[in-house]
Chains A and B, each alone.
Chain A
Amino acid sequence: MTFEPKIVGFLCNWCSYTGADLAGTSRVHYAPNVRIIRVMCSARIDPTFVLKALHDGADGVLVCGCHPGDCHYSEGNYKAMRRFPLLKQLLADYGIEEDRVHLEWISASEGQRFADVVDDMTERVRALGPSHVRFDLASDMAER
């Protein structure tokens, strides 16, 4: 049987989460692999959330915020954007494929787009196969 990746999605309350709801109200179907966690703003997403998710067995993490310039908090998404490369760098150090973590901008009106993003993400992670991060991370943390 095909491998069904577990993906954790962190969505900002104003754009992305609303967009996900819109996907629902307009009955746009998408892959069931993403489990959504709501935060007020993408800027709230602490790198440790992502690490925690990967550590607890997520095969991928999806981070969504408002489009640049449309942030409900005017510039929160820029903060997230700036923070993201650092996070990727950190993950690279742990030897985690960068495709496992993905940042996307989804507006309140982009239900269809949200569905597409989820489907792509799922496919990408499925291609990578199960993540062995949790063990590495665990041991790594044990060393410290």
Chain B
Amino acid sequence: MEEPRTGVYVCNCGTNIAKVVDCDAVADSAAQLPGVVVARSYKYMCSNPGQEMIAQDIEEHALERVVVAACSPRMHEPTFRRALQTAGLNPYFLEMANIREQVSWVHDDGAVATQKAKALVHAAVNRVVHHEPLDRMSVDMCPNTLIIGGGIAGMTAALEFAGAGKQVYLVEKLDHLGGNLARVDLTAPYLDSARDIIADRITRVTDNEHIDVMLDAQVQSLDGFVGNFKATIRRETGLEGDGPTVSVDVGSVVVCTGYKEFDASRVTHYGYGKLPNVITSFEFERMLHEGRVETKEGRLPQYVAIIHCVGSRSPEFHAYCSRVCCMTALKYAREVKSALPKSYVSDIYVDMHAFGKGMEDFYRRSAEIKTLFLMYERGEPPVIRRADPDDDCEMLIEVHEQLSGEVIEIPADLVILMVGMEAREDSGEVARLVNISRDKDGWFIESHPKLDPVATTTEGVYIAGTCAAPKDIPDTVAQARAAAGRILGKIARGKIDIDAVYAEVDEDKCSGCRVCNELCPYVAIEYDAETRRSHVISALCKACGACVAACPSGAIKARHFTDEQIFAQIEGVLA
């Protein structure tokens, strides 16, 4: 058969690829392949000139297929597909060879890397030959949204949708809204009232006709696809366990499940749980809230010590920074001085993360009220012990103070441990439920850390707030709104395109054995008793291809991942 006319484009990605791979050589070798009529190498293929170059060639050389050797398709496949489309070529006539993440960034031997790049390009050229023109399906966008988690993030997002007059289902595991912020009295760095923020949000949410608040409820299952999810929510009716389940239709899901505080008792040398007056930040919040800043014995502490990075930035627990503890600690220093003017506060930290608006000023003011800042090294955290009876304090904290180089002990009657943030224990469950992935610490992974901090790998499912990573209130609120913005955009358009990649049954070949029916996790394959054949409901199919591999009579075809395409690719890489 006559090979379709193919164009090959090798991206230098500045020096990211060119530094290791000889891009011109790759282009030249590609030019030798059957069907390739033009092969070029350029600095940034994804840039405007780069895309225009492709469009121009498609016109001039009447290209039928395009191969772009550049970064991972997970990054720019959509970009180049769009480029093909604007040039009047079916977007699925594109194939990308990943010569950055898989070659130039992981190999340093130029010759070998170039060799591998050539092979990958060869494979891509082989494969693209067998590509077929596919059309994206356009489906209706359901204007309702499911929000999981009734904290500040969840409520903020909910109010955005409600404000636009769209229906929201707000599902909260506990019997009240507010999340972790409801346990806080004042916010850093301006010591504004947290309870005012929460009260405001809760009133607005509960009073809003568009928001269906479900307390004591959990999402049981989520089926369907972007724009057309069906969620089942189980409501705990307290005493007699499982309550009624409701099922709702939603177009998108926002996950705002938040965080859980680090368990301080895991850090043995702080003696939390053993020493009565070593408490966690949240326990101290309660003290402040009740206006009783005192020891377990009811005495007023003369010396108060605050220890940062409990469970965070630590070799044995979490490597990451919990982002809010530093400012919260300064807040406590301030609050202790206010409640107990005669007290002395020492703040034992690693690095003072006062990065945000108003924070450095807050840090300076905290120093001016004579907070004693002591710096310790991550490797060697402080050790708390009981003081001798004749001491004027209850405990002594031994710390190798970095800024003086001295090993000192500081008196303390009350010790506040700044416990970090941790992924909730049910985050794995939630991830599976809504089909998103988690990083090594259990935080949900965004589809791109910079471009797309609130979207996930599963279209239609978004994450906001501290369930993605620790962050403070303003950043959480911004993210919640960002997620809402994304979804409102889709809702405003009313329709969404969904990928044209799904499975198809060739009914002539189908023997009606129904193996595939049980196999499909999305019950997307229907058996027609009449014709005694199975067929795929394309909208439901997520193109995993399990059925394809399993079909004994080879009757099922995975669009865009056909056997021919993959065989061709295999031949390519091994050529």
Report if A and B touch in the complex (beta carbons < 8 A): yes
Q: Are B445 and A35 in contact (CB under 8 A)?
A: no
Max chain A Cβ within 10 angstroms of own Cβ: one of B101, B103, B115, B549 = B549
Q: Are A109 and B438 in contact (CB under 8 A)?
A: yes
Q: Are A24 and B432 in contact (CB under 8 A)?
A: no
B556-575 interface code vs A (CB 8 A; 1 in, 0 out): 00100101001101110110
Q: Are A32 and B116 in contact (CB under 8 A)?
A: yes
Residue A48 lies at the interface, judged by CB distance under 8 Å to chain B: yes
Residue A17 lies at the interface, judged by CB distance under 8 Å to chain B: yes
User: Measured between alpha carbons, how far is A44 from B549 in the docked complex, in Å?
Assistant: 5
Q: Are B567 and A52 in contact (CB under 8 A)?
A: yes
Q: Are A46 and B563 in contact (CB under 8 A)?
A: yes
Q: Are B549 and A43 in contact (CB under 8 A)?
A: yes
B13 CB to closest chain A CB, in angstroms?
12
Residue A70 lies at the interface, judged by CB distance under 8 Å to chain B: yes
Q: How large is the interface on B (under 10, 10 to 19, 20 to 34, 35 or more residues)?
A: 35 or more
Docked complex: A2-21 residues within 8 A CB-CB of B: 6, 8, 13-15, 17-18, 20-21
B86-129 interface code vs A (CB 8 A; 1 in, 0 out): 00000000000010111101111100110110011001000000
B258 CB to closest chain A CB, in angstroms?
20
What residues of chain B lie closer than 8 Å to A64, measured between beta carbons?
none
Q: Which residue of B lies closest to A36 (CB)?
A: B102
What residues of chain A lie closer than 8 Å to B439, measured between beta carbons?
108-109
Residue B437 lies at the interface, judged by CB distance under 8 Å to chain A: yes
Residue B189 lies at the interface, judged by CB distance under 8 Å to chain A: no
User: Measured between alpha carbons, how far is A108 from B448 in the docked complex, in Å?
Assistant: 13
Q: Are B105 and A27 in contact (CB under 8 A)?
A: yes
Docked complex: B425-481 residues within 8 A CB-CB of A: 431-432, 435, 437-440, 445, 457-458
What residues of chain B lie closer than 8 Å to A139, measured between beta carbons?
none
What residues of chain B lie closer than 8 Å to A79, measured between beta carbons?
519, 546, 549-550
What residues of chain B lie closer than 8 Å to A41, measured between beta carbons?
544-546
Q: Which residue of B lies closest to A61 (CB)?
A: B570
User: Measured between alpha carbons, how far is A37 from B101 in the docked complex, in Å?
Assistant: 14
A80-108 interface code vs B (CB 8 A; 1 in, 0 out): 00010000000000000000000000011
- Set A17, A30, A39, A74: member contacting B432, Cβ < 8 A: A74
What residues of chain B lie closer than 8 Å to A25, measured between beta carbons?
101, 105
B185-209 interface code vs A (CB 8 A; 1 in, 0 out): 0000000000000000000000000
Residue B543 lies at the interface, judged by CB distance under 8 Å to chain A: yes
- Set A30, A74, A108: member contacting B437, Cβ < 8 A: A108
Q: Are B98 and A36 in contact (CB under 8 A)?
A: yes
List 11 A-B pairs, Cβ < 8 Å.
A6-B574, A24-B72, A24-B102, A32-B113, A36-B120, A37-B569, A41-B545, A46-B548, A76-B546, A79-B549, A108-B457
User: Measured between alpha carbons, how far is A13 from B123 in the docked complex, in Å?
Assistant: 17
User: Measured between alpha carbons, how far is A15 from B439 in the docked complex, in Å?
Assistant: 11
Q: Which residue of B lies closest to A26 (CB)?
A: B105
**Contacts A40-B543, A44-B545: A21 and B432 contacting too (C-beta < 8 A)?**
no
Residue A130 lies at the interface, judged by CB distance under 8 Å to chain B: no
Q: Are B574 and A24 in contact (CB under 8 A)?
A: no
User: Measured between alpha carbons, how far is A33 from B504 in the docked complex, in Å?
Assistant: 35
What residues of chain B lie closer than 8 Å to A58, measured between beta carbons?
570, 574
B538 CB to closest chain A CB, in angstroms?
15
Residue B542 lies at the interface, judged by CB distance under 8 Å to chain A: yes
Residue B521 lies at the interface, judged by CB distance under 8 Å to chain A: yes
Q: Which residue of A lies closest to B109 (CB)?
A: A32
Top 6 nearest A-B pairs by Cβ distance?
A: A24-B101, A44-B545, A43-B546, A35-B573, A73-B544, A41-B544
What residues of chain A lie closer than 8 Å to B292, measured between beta carbons?
none
- Set A29, A53, A109: member contacting B445, Cβ < 8 A: A109
User: Measured between alpha carbons, how far is A43 from B542 in the docked complex, in Å?
Assistant: 13
B354 CB to closest chain A CB, in angstroms?
29
- Set A30, A74, A109: member contacting B521, Cβ < 8 A: A74
User: Measured between alpha carbons, how far is A65 from B103 in the docked complex, in Å?
Assistant: 21
User: Measured between alpha carbons, how far is A69 from B438 in the docked complex, in Å?
Assistant: 12
B468 CB to closest chain A CB, in angstroms?
13
- Set B72, B432, B573: member contacting A70, Cβ < 8 A: B432
What residues of chain B lie closer than 8 Å to A14, measured between beta carbons?
437, 457
Q: Which residue of A lies closest to B74 (CB)?
A: A21
Q: Which residue of A lies closest to B545 (CB)?
A: A44
Residue A49 lies at the interface, judged by CB distance under 8 Å to chain B: yes
Residue B512 lies at the interface, judged by CB distance under 8 Å to chain A: no
User: Measured between alpha carbons, how far is A41 from B106 in the docked complex, in Å?
Assistant: 24
User: Measured between alpha carbons, how far is A83 from B519 in the docked complex, in Å?
Assistant: 13
B40-63 interface code vs A (CB 8 A; 1 in, 0 out): 000000000000000000000000
Residue A137 lies at the interface, judged by CB distance under 8 Å to chain B: no
Q: Are A108 and B546 in contact (CB under 8 A)?
A: no
